[in-house]
Structure 1
């Protein structure tokens, strides 16, 4: 459907990021009496970062192809001279990161991990079956619906890959398996190296370094002695850097289903991506392993003091389990170990896709074909009470117009301040 910005009234801002601002929006004849609500992602063309427009349109393209209980669907979109906006279902339960930090020990029980990871695996399996590698799994991107089930979000770093014999693709699930800002998202970049977003059409390189040379330079820059990035201690998204020409939908993807982009969130980036050897669908299963570890032990396994150290740990640090956790939860520890296999060809999920993960002993007893029907979520969000009375709310377009208004004259501001101080 087309989004009618004349009828839509924003209740509040849900978040801001590299891809724009997300609003909780009410839409109805008068936008009152608790009308239909959804999340509206609005991209301001006037203040956009380079290539953000292409990434936003790519996300809309991906969303338009999704139909799964644990993936968002595109409810509609609209475009004006200044804005590009698209609507997705509103998830009122927050995200998995917020939920973890609300727990006393900031860790989940094995039963809760089994529930959430089963639904995440189901969502990733659907993406892989459609040819998309996700590449941005982290707790902040796992949203909770009002009923406690999960929804993955943010697909601007995804890529369309060709399934092939060496692509580490996930096998499509059988019919019974189908269903009907702790980390700043900032770019780690060198101006001379980061120039091509993941959705940009191939560009002529002429005198510029070859894509593979760019890759080698970037890896040396991140892993070498240069300390320019060492001050950034937060886990951050890394920029989409394409190292191999390709089409818009599969930019950076080779004939064997590999991408040569360097993207993701640093604590979840797979070793083959850091090494620059090309990656396939198996990077998502590595990220699942990192997420399971974080949910179980309260931290990610390879985080260093800075980005350079984190990447070194991803490549070389031995996987450690706290205390006697291996003995207490052997199936969980084995699942993590097999997902965090540095050689993607030996990683759980590489050969048999999601089916290999479903068959792991940790998931014994999971009714994969009825996840949303018979699995009770371990946490049910409290009812959301965000009504909207007639005349309340604000216009999304006005929100962005106000951002571009010049500041008030300094004299007027000073006079107002002096006047109020007298009283």
Structure 2
């Protein structure tokens, strides 16, 4: 249902329809050249890794970009696969290592360049490196590259997408929504406060996986950006990126946005947890944008939504971000103190001492039954030519 877009203005010309971890940036108003600063080279032992060191088990998800203007969405659609996430294990693993499995995100250099994703990919790598170790964020183990592709080796999260469980249950009881929202609050607190103002910018059920015990793991940092602050004020950024149903009004209006967009998205997410659908939706993303800007959040008679849940959703989904919960003086502390989260032991939650409401059926470390089946790579790809290599290799030196 949700599509991810990245565009500097109101009307996106490229819509990304995704399966697991979409990344897109088609900012045609920007230069195709990325930022001039180049990451330091990674340690030699990382550079020695190569794709043949891993045995492919199966594809976990793909990111497919739909190339068509909105005005011609009824015409034949042209898709381009941008990223692929695979379950892998060490090649030739012995008996002792047979249970070692990883998720390998594969990004083709030619597509990264063509879709103007260089800065997003570099930001993703930097931020994932910085946040490694948080209990509710996917962990980047290392990165490496070859002539054609970039690779991110991540911990494998076997429980599958939270979206799949929401689809199966149709909607979550309020206690479930409270639990998952609380773990996300701890993630946003860490990104916003402890990591110097990192805006995630693509919060939605598809980007939340469950680990083997049922705890949330936030994945896909392709749109994350470290904004920081200047003169005690949060720095603003202007690229339209995210998922239409979850975009904050200031993003759509191109007024400049801050980390406050993540709190808006959390309000939308809680609404979808409780009802099974987002408050703003239409087949045409432009109509979604109009609804977000012009309409208040309305609640259905069925299922009934508690006053506390309605209040926190409205407090997050406040068009004026200066009055938005999470973006006020007190920040995340005010979110934690909201009556919707009454009874949450935040310390116990952080240390994973609270039993999650959903227990994924994971039979062994490499079990992938919680993920949908996707076609495997057909081997077709745009060539990464010598000319592209000469022009762009320096921007991939951090991999």
TM-score w.r.t. length of structure 1? 0.67
SS at match of 1:22: strand
SS at match of 1:263: strand
Kindly tell me: are residues 339 and 166 of structure 1, through their superposed partners in 2, closer, same or farther at Cα, counting changes over 3 Å?
Answer: farther
Separation of aligned partners in 2, 1:401 and 1:320:
45
SS at match of 1:36: coil
SS at match of 1:17: strand
Question: What displacement does 1:365 show?
Answer: 1.2
Contact between 2:107 and 2:150, CA under 8 Å: does it hold in 1?
Answer: yes
SS at match of 1:55: helix
Instruction: Please say if 1:382 is aligned against 2:370.
Output: no
SS at match of 1:402: coil
Kindly tell me: are residues 164 and 113 of structure 1, through their superposed partners in 2, closer, same or farther at Cα, counting changes over 3 Å?
Answer: farther
Kindly tell me: are residues 164 and 405 of structure 1, through their superposed partners in 2, closer, same or farther at Cα, counting changes over 3 Å?
Answer: closer
Q: Which moves more between the two structures, 23-32 or 130-139?
A: 23-32
Instruction: Please say if 1:56 is aligned against 2:133.
Output: no
The 5 Å alignment of 1:139-218 reads 139-163=205-229, 167=233
Separation of aligned partners in 2, 1:107 and 1:356:
26
Q: Deviations over 1:258-291 (max 9, x none)?
A: 1111111000000111122111111100000000
Separation of aligned partners in 1, 2:229 and 2:344:
28
Separation of aligned partners in 2, 1:325 and 1:163:
41
Separation of aligned partners in 2, 1:120 and 1:278:
24
Could you tell me which of 165, 170, 178 is aligned with 1:114? 178
Contact between 1:39 and 1:87, CA under 8 Å: does it hold in 2?
Answer: yes
Alignment length, in residue pairs? 305
Instruction: Please say if 1:315 is aligned against 2:293.
Output: yes
Kindly tell me: are residues 387 and 34 of structure 1, through their superposed partners in 2, closer, same or farther at Cα, counting changes over 3 Å?
Answer: farther
Separation of aligned partners in 1, 2:273 and 2:213:
20
Could you tell me which of 243, 253, 276 is aligned with 1:275? 253
Contact between 1:8 and 1:31, CA under 8 Å: does it hold in 2?
Answer: no
The 5 Å alignment of 1:385-400 reads 385=364
The 5 Å alignment of 1:360-375 reads 360-371=338-349, 372-375=351-354
Could you tell me which of 320, 342, 364 is aligned with 1:343? 320
Kindly tell me: are residues 165 and 370 of structure 1, through their superposed partners in 2, closer, same or farther at Cα, counting changes over 3 Å?
Answer: farther
Could you tell me which of 105, 114, 118 is aligned with 1:41? 105
Question: What displacement does 1:45 show?
Answer: 2.0
The 5 Å alignment of 1:291-302 reads 291-302=269-280
Separation of aligned partners in 1, 2:316 and 2:237:
20
SS at match of 1:87: strand
In structure 1, what is the equivalent of residue 70 of structure 2?
none
SS at match of 2:143: strand
Instruction: Please say if 1:12 is aligned against 2:75.
Output: no
Which blocks of at least 5 consecutive residues in structure 2 are unaligned? 1-44, 65-81, 368-375, 384-399
SS at match of 1:366: coil
In structure 2, what is the equivalent of residue 125 of structure 1?
189
SS at match of 2:98: coil
Separation of aligned partners in 1, 2:382 and 2:319:
51
Could you tell me which of 147, 162, 167 is aligned with 1:81? 147
In structure 2, what is the equivalent of residue 25 of structure 1?
88
Contact between 1:75 and 1:89, CA under 8 Å: does it hold in 2?
Answer: yes
SS at match of 1:6: helix
Separation of aligned partners in 2, 1:305 and 1:29:
47
Structure richer in strand, relative to its length: 2
Q: Deviations over 1:397-422 (max 9, x none)?
A: xx86833599xxxxxxxxxxxxxxxx
Q: Deviations over 1:135-157 (max 9, x none)?
A: 00011001111110001111111
Separation of aligned partners in 1, 2:377 and 2:154:
20
Q: Which moves more between the two structures, 127-136 or 157-166?
A: 157-166
Instruction: Please say if 1:96 is aligned against 2:96.
Output: no
In structure 1, what is the equivalent of residue 307 of structure 2?
330
Which blocks of at least 5 consecutive residues in structure 1 are unaligned? 168-255, 389-398, 407-423
